[in-house]
Structure 1
Amino acid sequence: MFRVLLFVCGLLLFGCEAPELLPIGGPRPKATVPTNLTAGAARGDGETYYVSTNGDDNASGLAPDAAWGSLDRINGTTFGPGDRILLEGGATFRGNLEIVPERFRGTADRPILIGSSDGRPVEIVSDARPAVQIESVSGLTIERLRLIGNAPSCDGSGFDGAHGINLLYERGQRYAAITLSQIDISGYCVGVVARIARPSRLDGLHLTEVRATDNRAAGIVLLGDEPDPDGSLHLVDVRIVGGRAAGSPGVPRAESGAKFSGSGVFIAMAQGVRVERITVADNGGQNSCIDAGVSGGGTSGIAIDGIDIEIRGAEVIGQRVAPDCPWQGGGITVSGRTLVVERNYTHRNDGPGITIDNAESGRRATVQRNVSLNDARRSSSDGGIRLGGGQGDYQIHHNTVFVARGPALVAQGEASAGIPREVSVRNNLFGVGEGPLLLVDPTSIEAPVFHGNHYFDATDRYLIAWGHEGFEGIARFVEGADQERFGGQILAETGNPHLCGTQIVSFADPDISAIAVAVRPGPGSPLRDTGINLASVQGARLAPTDFSGTTVPAGRGPDRGAIEHPGGLDGC
């Protein structure tokens, strides 16, 4: 089974001797300037420097008409808290930026800014090195860049080669406040890669509207290190908001340590991760499995391992695996403790739409208000939603899942990964074109609870695979598995859900701009106002809004599935 936590072992390629680290926030030297430059006197905090393609590296850099002329001039200068480095907007520079603590001495509350002089993107065309190399600094904001590479090859690890932005923290200090904003990155091995080696710690790595497209190995890869004995991690407060990670096919015949190959977003051993409103599309397909000696599959579009992880509002489409990969290639995979996967749209992925794939220590996951359409395209056993392993406390509530070939949900694991308890599956809409609706192993998932779900089977067979037993028809499932009933009342519903988008029951997956209406309960829908009131269920964790942002419940009671009818309307 895919285990993100295990995949990162052996990835961190550290160990090179580091130069002496200057104390962050302490006294800083004057700007290093040519000796023949009279303007090179000591400067106060918060200077602004200008760089232009027609500038002069012997100029002061302190005014637009005295701009520097190259990226090398930046690399050879020392900057302090609050300084700004403004490159000519709309211009193209060749070379790379090297940001090291000896010269970049920003602080968390007074970061150094590298950006555009007028808001237009600044293009950097780099050579075989990273376009932006960042090593063990705090207080840095980089914005409005377009990084263009031409990585001739990426080795089997995916690390050796040119990256768009390469962050390396290995000098044993605590660092903070790194922000990357409005940056386009293409043509590299990995668009953005960060590696934090213990005992170093980075608090605050924020990516806003970063678009990593058409990079060979992966889009965004952020890696912490093994936890300390007290369990604390070394990559903390990670945020990815907006942006896109697309078109990274992966490295063929990847080495066994490089399981991020073919992923859009891969984050491992991190704490306090927030991923919101990102589009992850058309990754994978060349991320070989068998040649790597891996008894599993490729990675997912978004794969995150750690503590306190939230993924909201993402779209993951078209994640692929190579022909020799037997499974995975799914939309979203999370593992660890305290996980939230909410209001995401996964569709047309080779593997499951959403996977909770925990090792023995994993616990507490909430998967709610998600839409999964036509996922698990290459699998007959992985489902639109898959969960297993860990200690449990998993809540799978108010999701809409349609797969052309069932099962819609898989709940099974292996004894070595833990037997999860307190697993509840409530108020979901599950639909299949053929095959079983559910595949559940009650010997590896202890006492799961299925209540208030709506089931649709295009063949009208309503098959449920429950351990060694199989049930045909929901009534037999209720009696044989003692599910979907409470106090003598049958809680399940079956049949056509009568959604506004009638094509959904034909297993189409609309564009994200149309999905909120397409999956909404239509006139006469049995989903409307018939869900269980989870607010009355002790310990239930509820989202305040549905998939489309409507406050719930919108009618007399909660609707089943991910999207509520807004109420007050006869139609859609």
Structure 2
Amino acid sequence: MSSTSAAADSQGGQRYYLDCAAGNDAAAGTAQGSAWRTLDHVNALVFHPGDSILLRSGTTCQGTFSPKGSGTEDRPIVAGSYGSGARPAIVADGARAVVFLHNVQYWELRNLDISDRAAGNGTSRTGIYVLLEDYGTGHHYVIDGVNVHHVVGIDATGPANEDSAGILFKATGSTVATGFDGIQVTGNTVSGVDGYGIATSSQWSLRPLLTSGTNTFVPISHVRIAGNRLSDLGGDGIVVQNGIDPLVEGNVIDGFGKRATAFHAGIWSWNSDRPVMQYNDVSHGSSSPPAFAFDVDIAAAGVLYQYNYSHDNAGFMLLCTNPGEKSAGATIRYNVSENDRGALFGTTELPLVTNGCGSVQPDVRFYNNVIHTKYASGLIGNFGETAVAYSNNIFSGRPGGSTIGDPMASFDHNLYFNVTSAPTVDAHAVAADPAFVRPGAGPLGYLLKCGSPAIGAGVLIAGDTGHDFLGFPVPHDAPPNIGPHQSPCVHV
């Protein structure tokens, strides 16, 4: 692809224009007035560092966008928009992927509309599919301000499958160790997709924590998935596999597990080290099969869930590994579960915190959370042998009473309200109305009225975060409040 006739853009590359309504593939493509016409023309070219491919706003391009070429660290290739109006649309017709980046790196996708108009046919489909096969480590992938919608696939997930997803990064192959370094997925909307909403996946997964993996472990590092809105998801919401210190924050998920054939969760990570999931709002997970807001899963080490809001889901937290596999610690703190409702799995009623599939998970701490429900008969249940340490939590059951049944767990300084059988092992239990400001009205509804029995009734937790759900400091020289709020009490 010649660069001699193109004006250099701000990255030192070339700016190319695509107008699928009025362009001409015989034109130079280097100015708005000489834009190209079709995706087929663009897909036949090889782009270079610093290049931009800009689609005209308000137009629709039919087919798959599968460009070639890679950028560099200081000059990524950017696909975006020009002009005013709605995001330019790329609409496939039953393709495996609408946007397909294969064995390329240093790419950014911005301000596009991605969909597939075809009805489902029992095969997997993905909106944006970034696939590395025997490639080595791919760097710098940015997806920002993109709308991915109506990509009808199937409930297929996992590195051994042909996944369906809204946005998927996948590492495969068997001869060249392959992974990702630098994934940012921010400010996007994903709706009406199946399988995953947003995910990373890898066949380079074998390590001591995952003895059933394939190929020696290759990390997926520097992952940030933030500020996205996801809805009407057939399966999971956001899933990170093989992540090293991934950050999933500030996302809103409303409706997942909608077309599922198995358990799903709104946000979870597996075969990952030190994943942080925080400030997310997860709601309306399906009841059949059960869809939990969050999951501590197989081969996960140092998992942290904090400052999240779960509501109107089948369940709040699932702790589950595969038989014979390991995990290595999880902390669940300063979260709000509101009116999650419980669900049936066959004839078994699952509580809001369900513990007990697969192997024992060591060092799981659950503190300073609130679980408040009008519906669920069970708040906590254990079907295995993992011993969770519950401290400083408020358990507020349905008016007729809810149960806590976990003989393996330890309980200390928790408050129990509308709980029919508080654990007798909690030597510092508080059995009283917590005096919430307005339960059922969102996270602020669980602020404490002055005089609440939860005020100053907790126990100091070693290694605590330093601040609560709203950012108020956690005391280090006096007993904290029970629950997620350490802010001053509310006079009413």
TM range (shorter): 0.7 to 0.9
Instruction: Give distance in 2, aligned partners of 1:191 and 1:391.
Output: 31
Between the aligned partners of 1:117 and 1:366, the Cα distance in structure 2 is 45
Task: In structure 2, give the amino acid aligned to 1:128.
Answer: G
- Residue number in structure 1 paired with 2:115: 148
Q: Distance in 2 between matches of 1:548 and 1:264?
A: 25
Match of 1:243 among 228, 234, 251: 228
Q: How does 1:150-169 map to 2 (within 5 A)?
A: 150-155=117-122, 160-169=123-132
| 1:463 maps to amino acid | S
- Correspondence for 2:333 among 343, 346, 368: 368
Report the secondary structure of 2:146's partner residue: strand
Corresponding residue of 2:240 = 267
Partner of 2:294: 332
Q: 1:166 to 1:499 in 2, by over 3 A?
A: same
Matches within 5 A, 1:169-568: 169-188=132-151, 189=153, 190-198=165-173, 199-228=177-206, 232-248=217-233, 250=234, 262-288=235-261, 297-307=262-272, 308-322=274-288, 325=289, 328-335=290-297, 336-350=300-314, 352-359=315-322, 360-379=325-344, 381-388=349-356, 389-403=359-373, 404-414=375-385, 419=386, 423-433=388-398, 434-442=400-408, 448-457=409-418, 462-464=420-422, 477=424, 483-485=425-427, 491-501=428-438, 504=439, 509-510=440-441, 515-534=442-461, 540-553=462-475, 557-564=479-486, 566-567=487-488
Change (3 A) 1:321 1:378: closer
Relative to 1, partners in 2 of residues 1:341 and 1:237: Cα closer, same or farther, differing over 3 Å? same
Q: Distance in 2 between matches of 1:45 and 1:63?
A: 16
Normalising by structure 2, report the TM-score. 0.84
What is the CA RMSD across the aligned residues, in angstroms?
Answer: 2.8
The residue that corresponds to 2:162 in the other structure is none
Deviation per residue, 1:94-138 (Å, 9 max, x gap): 222113xxx312123321111112475222222221220110111
Q: Which amino acid aligns with 1:212?
A: V
Name structure 2 gaps, 5 residues minimum: 154-164, 209-215
Deviation of the 1:412 alpha carbon: 4.4
Q: Which runs of 5+ in 1 are unaligned?
A: 1-29, 33-37, 251-261, 289-296, 443-447, 465-473, 478-482, 486-490, 535-539
Query: Cα gap change, 1:91/1:556 in structure 2, threshold over 3 Å: closer, same or farther?
Result: farther
Provide the rounded CA distance (Å) in 2 between the counterparts of 1:154 and 1:521: 52
Contact residue 381 and residue 410 of structure 1 kept, 8 A: no
Could you tell me whether the CA contact under 8 Å between 2:434 and 2:452 is conserved in 1? yes
Is the 1:209–1:241 contact (alpha carbons within 8 Å) kept by the matching residues of 2? yes
Find the aligned partners of 2:204 and 2:341 in 1 and give their Cα distance. 32
Q: 1:98 aligns with which of 66, 70, 80?
A: 66
Q: Which has the larger radius of gyration?
A: 1
Matched residue count: 454
User: Aligned partners of 1:119, 1:200: CA distance in 2, in Å?
Assistant: 39
Which 4+ residue blocks in structure 1 deviate beyond 6 angstroms? 40-44
Picking from 110, 124, 127, the partner of 2:75 is 110
Contact 2:65 2:90 survives alignment (8 Å): no
Quote how far apart the aligned CAs of 1:150 are.
1.8
Quote the residue 2:15 is aligned against. 48
> Does the C-alpha gap of structure 1 residues 144 and 263 become closer, same or farther in structure 2, counting only changes over 3 Å?
same
Following superposition, the deviation at residue 329 of structure 1 comes to 1.5
Q: Is the 8 A contact 2:460 2:476 kept in 1?
A: no
Q: Secondary structure at the match of 1:463?
A: coil
Q: Distance in 2 between matches of 1:393 and 1:138?
A: 38
Q: Which residue of 1 aligns with 2:160?
A: none
Which amino acid letter does the alignment assign opposite residue 191 of structure 2?
A: T
**Conserved 8 A contact 1:330-1:376:** no
Query: In structure 2, do the counterparts of structure 1 residues 161 and 412 end up closer, same or farther at CA, with 3 Å as the change threshold?
Result: closer
Amino acid at match of 1:193: L
Q: Measured at CA, do residues 31 and 72 of structure 1 come closer, stay the same or move farther in structure 2, by a change above 3 Å?
A: farther
Q: Distance in 2 between matches of 1:110 and 1:94?
A: 28
Whether contact under 8 Å (2:309, 2:443) holds in the other structure is no
Map 1:84-95 onto structure 2 (within 5 A): 84-95=52-63
CA spacing shift, 1:39–1:276, aligned 2, 3 Å: same
Partner amino acid, structure 2, of 1:214: G
| Structure 2 letter corresponding to 1:456 | F
C-alpha spacing 1:229/1:148, structure 2 compared with 1 (3 Å): closer
Higher helix share: 1
| SS across alignment from 1:106 | coil
Q: Matches of 2:284 and 2:76 in 1, distance apart?
A: 38
AA matched with 1:314: N
- What is the CA-CA distance between 1:495 and the residue it aligns to? 1.2
- Does the CA contact (< 8 Å) of 1:71 and 1:97 recur in 2? yes
Could you tell me whether the CA contact under 8 Å between 1:151 and 1:161 is conserved in 2?
no
Q: Could you state the TM-score of these two structures normalised by the residue count of structure 1?
A: 0.73
Deviations 1:10-47 (A, max 9, x none): xxxxxxxxxxxxxxxxxxxx439xxxxx9489999422
Once residues 452 and 340 of structure 1 are traced to their aligned partners in structure 2, the CA distance between those partners, rounded to angstroms, is 21
Q: C-alpha deviations, 1:43-66, integer Å up to 9, x for none? A: 994222222232322222222223
Alpha-carbon contact 1:264-1:281 (below 8 Å) kept: no
Percent of residue pairs identical: 24
Counterpart in the other structure of 2:50: 82
- Alpha-carbon displacement from aligned partner over 1:73-96 (angstroms, at most 9, x marks no partner): 321222111212222223322222
* Cα distance between partner residues in 2 of 1:436 and 1:450: 17
- Distance apart, 1:525 and its partner CA: 1.1
Cα-to-partner distance string for 1:502-536 (whole Å, 9 max, x where unaligned) = xx3xxxx43xxxx23211111321112222122xx
- Mapped to 2, the partners of 1:430 and 1:128 lie a distance apart of 48
The question of whether the paired residues in 2 share the 8 Å contact of 1:84 and 1:112 is answered with yes
Distance 1:239 1:168, change over 3 A: same
The answer (yes or no) to whether the contact 1:197–1:224 under 8 Å persists in 2 is: yes
